[in-house]
Structure 1
Amino acid sequence: MLEQMQDVYNRLNRDTVKDGLLGDLYDRDILFTDPLHRIEGLNNLQRYFEGMYRNVDEISFRYLTQWEQKNEAMLRWEMTFRHPKLNNSAPILVPGVTYLTFDDKITHHQDYFDSNQMIFDHVPVLGSLLGWLKGRLN
């Protein structure tokens, strides 16, 4: 399952996101969660991915470690992306982990990553405020 997932995510971009790749990977009743979203159902996930890929200039994944047994798996990764409204459109690196459960297709996809590192640290005024707050806490 992990090889298929990595292949799909390596092929996804704003041109291929509507090609049925997600339906090949995810069950129609998929539950997809991350620190910012809870998405139920393949149709909703498809709309989410279409919006995400429409709004990023570039996105890629580097896969680091993984394990898979029976009907569950974990994958540690680094995502690099460029968004026109974040970090002056410079690349942003976000490490994360994905936990999956599956039968024939993935039924639950849970991503773990630091949403501040992904988005909020790179919003002009908010990023400065968060930097100041992190400094005070340390």
Structure 2
Amino acid sequence: MCDTRSVIENCITFYQALDHQSLSKLRELYHDDARLIDPFGQHQGLCAIQHYFDHLLSNVTRCWFDVDQPLCEGDRAALSWVMHWAHPKLQGGEPLALAGCSILFVREGRIAWQQDYYDAGSMVYEHIPLLGYAVRHIKQRVAS
């Protein structure tokens, strides 16, 4: 197994049970100066990434990922996934699902760069009563 594939497999294992993981394991996955980018912002450095995950997980009651077979080439990888999560203030705390994908670059045996792509509206905004109605309405108008 190539170095990149091994790193990605460890990443997948971590995310499959994200809400049951110690965030200290992020040090094994992410390079000290890694950059994580998603629709909500950019997080530069391991400390910033750990803080971001700590904040995210403190606000949910569940969070895990189903990840498809990774595509690896050289030091790059692509993952498609579905995040399952529950927040006590959204949908009555019932589990929600969000599809997305990630592009990752590996350096020195750890993730050095990751960009996550997903619909932030589907993740949060559509589940807030008045805002959700507006976002869904706009999506329907654009689609027709």
- The two structures have a TM-score, normalised by structure 2, of 0.88
**CA positional deviation for 1:10:** 2.5
Q: Is the 8 A contact 1:17 1:50 kept in 2?
A: no
**What does 1:25-44 align with in structure 2 at a 5 Å threshold?**
25-44=29-48
**CA positional deviation for 1:86:** 1.5
Greater Cα shift, 1-10 or 109-118: 1-10
Q: Which structure 1 segments of 5+ residues have no match?
A: none
Q: Is the 8 A contact 1:17 1:49 kept in 2?
A: no
1:65 equivalent in alignment to 2:69: yes
**CA positional deviation for 1:30:** 0.6
* Distance in 1, Cα, partners of 2:15 & 2:37: 16
Structure with greater proportional helix content: 2
Q: Which structure 2 segments of 5+ residues have no match?
A: 1-6
1:75 equivalent in alignment to 2:79: yes
Determine the structure 2 residue equivalent to 1:111: 116
Root-mean-square deviation (Å): 1.3
Aligned positions, number? 136
Q: Percent identity?
A: 29
Q: Is the 8 A contact 2:62 2:86 kept in 1?
A: yes
1:4 equivalent in alignment to 2:10: yes
Q: Which amino acid aligns with 2:127?
A: H
Determine the structure 1 residue equivalent to 2:89: 85
**CA positional deviation for 1:64:** 1.9
